[in-house]
Structure 1
Amino acid sequence: MTNSPEYFQNVASGNARVGVQAGHISGGVFSGAPPDARPADVAAALDELLAALRAAYEHGELDRETLADSEHEVGVTRTALASADPEQHGRAVRALRKLGGLVGGLAGSGTAVATLLAQVERLTS
């Protein structure tokens, strides 16, 4: 048996959207939030996201109104998740979707919101 290196070629062109490119995968693989996501992880992730958005504002990458709207949606998410009412958890999902629309074009923030959304959807289902 020879140990020749593996060669993979994957070409995307035009209006192609590549979700995942992988030649060889070993170990655990998941899509979206890690399977062991906990509510405390969501709170910490919301804190990290807010800190990143505030830093983006300070660097001129985000305007004041978008930051204010983003802070509002994070607040709605926190309040909804703190409630024992399952209908409020749906509010958290909607708030995160709005937040994704607000900051989806900001490097890293769209991904962070999508991960949070997957975590919250897992918690509420």
Structure 2
Amino acid sequence: MNKSKTKILLILSALAAIVLLLFALRSGKENSEMLVKLNASVAFDGERFMVSNNDTLDFLNTVMTVNGYYKLTGMNLHAGETYTLWPVEFAHINGTRLPAKQIPQQFSIWCELYSGEKGFYSRKLK
């Protein structure tokens, strides 16, 4: 009888491992599908950024980043609207502002959408 108990325990352990693996793979797929590519545009004219939401969705609670370190957070960018942003509005985590003489190389937007999904946009400048 010990052999049959061992077999049953082994089979149940294998089934549990398979179920956990399938659950982990399914969860990873759902998270990757929740990132939506945003329809936006950004231009820098040497003095200011012109950020446009060209989408039909509002971008909520945005985190806009210049050169990966300087951020502007918490803005809502409404569908079809264009916003003028000045470099001094972007701050590093240590509190320093984006230096006027630093050339912006990269601009990105992370946001929430009404559907609960997350949105992302990124562009190299120049």
With the shorter chain as reference, the TM-score category is: under 0.3
Q: Which structure features the higher share of strand residues? A: 2
TM-score if structure 1 supplies the norm length?
A: 0.27
Please give the TM-score of this superposition, normalised by the length of structure 2. Answer: 0.27
Q: Determine which structure has greater relative contact order: mean sequence separation of CA pairs < 8 Å that are 6+ residues apart, divided by chain length.
A: 1
Larger Rg: 2
- More helix by proportion, 1 or 2? 1
